[in-house]
Amino acid sequence: MSAARITRIGATKDQLGESPVWDERRQRLHWIDALAGLIRTFDPFTGTVEQFSVPAPIGSMALQHDSGAVLALRHEFAHYDFDKRLLTAGPSIGLDHPRVRLNDGKADPYGCFLAGTMHGDRAQDETPVGGLYRLDATGALELLETDLAVSNGPCFSPDGRTFYLADSARRVIWAYDYRPNAPLANKRVFVGTDAQGSGCDGATVDSEGYLWSVLVRIGKIARFAPDGTIAGMIDMPIRHPTSVTFGGSGLDVLFVTSISRSHALRDDHPDAGGLFAVEGLGVRGLPAHRFGAD
């Protein structure tokens, strides 16, 4: 992907940038600084960034059909109204473990929000606590998957029938058959990334059904074909990119978040923790799914 052009956007510096999502209705990009407890909103027309403070840490977010977002906080979900700057508590996952928190999440095509946990500083023989949770628009919460050490990169195929989920600690991305109001089915390995020397972090799927996943420890973004083979690779200018989403008026800009200082990783590059735009890929993304009833 030698034709790709990578540009830093603005001057924000996140400790742990994550969960970028493009609002195609308002033509804005939202993302979070997970450790600082910030939601940031970038307006590409004015170049301005607005920020909203919420309790840290934030695992992830997804847009709702109204002016707000659903958030995965430490052990519970919440709703945030951008216009009112108001946080409303949602259901808890029922854990009070000091080293387990909610992490990456995405809305599904049917109005639910899926978010998984990460179990930090886990002993080698210690079974991970937590799992993957699905929150529906009524507030009902269900556990879909267990035994996840560091869940990341949840996303869906264009037809919504395949769900992808990475465990960064195990350096694997799984694929599942997916239906609303049904358990995950037919779990299989989509790709292993041990040969690349990194686990996968955030991910998205483009309009052709290819999965873009961040290789967080080696400063690269991989594009995987639907059969799991590597179809392309982007070298980022910083050491630890974290997550990706397509945005822009043509959904053809890949936005990338990054780390300056997380609990496990650190990068002293002057652009570390910045937001980046990758252009010239010749690929389009898909509109982000939203939480709740339309």
Distance CA 72, CA 146 (A): 17
Distance CA 96, CA 207 (A): 39
Q: How is 179-237 classified by DSSP, letter by letter?
A: -TTS--EEEEEEEE-GGGTS-EEEEEE-TTSPEEEEETTTTEEEEE-TTS-EEEEEE-S
| Cis bond upstream, residue 57 (ω within 30) | yes
Q: Clarify whether 201 is annotated catalytic.
A: yes
Give me the half-sphere count of Cα atoms (radius 13 Å) on the Cβ side of residue 186. 10
Distance CA 111, CA 70 (A): 11
Q: Which of 23, 136, 167, 201 is catalytic?
A: 201
Distance CA 222, CA 203 (A): 9
Which phi-psi region, left, alpha or beta, contains residue 193 (left: φ > 0; alpha: ψ -120 to 50)? alpha
Catalytic center residues: 201
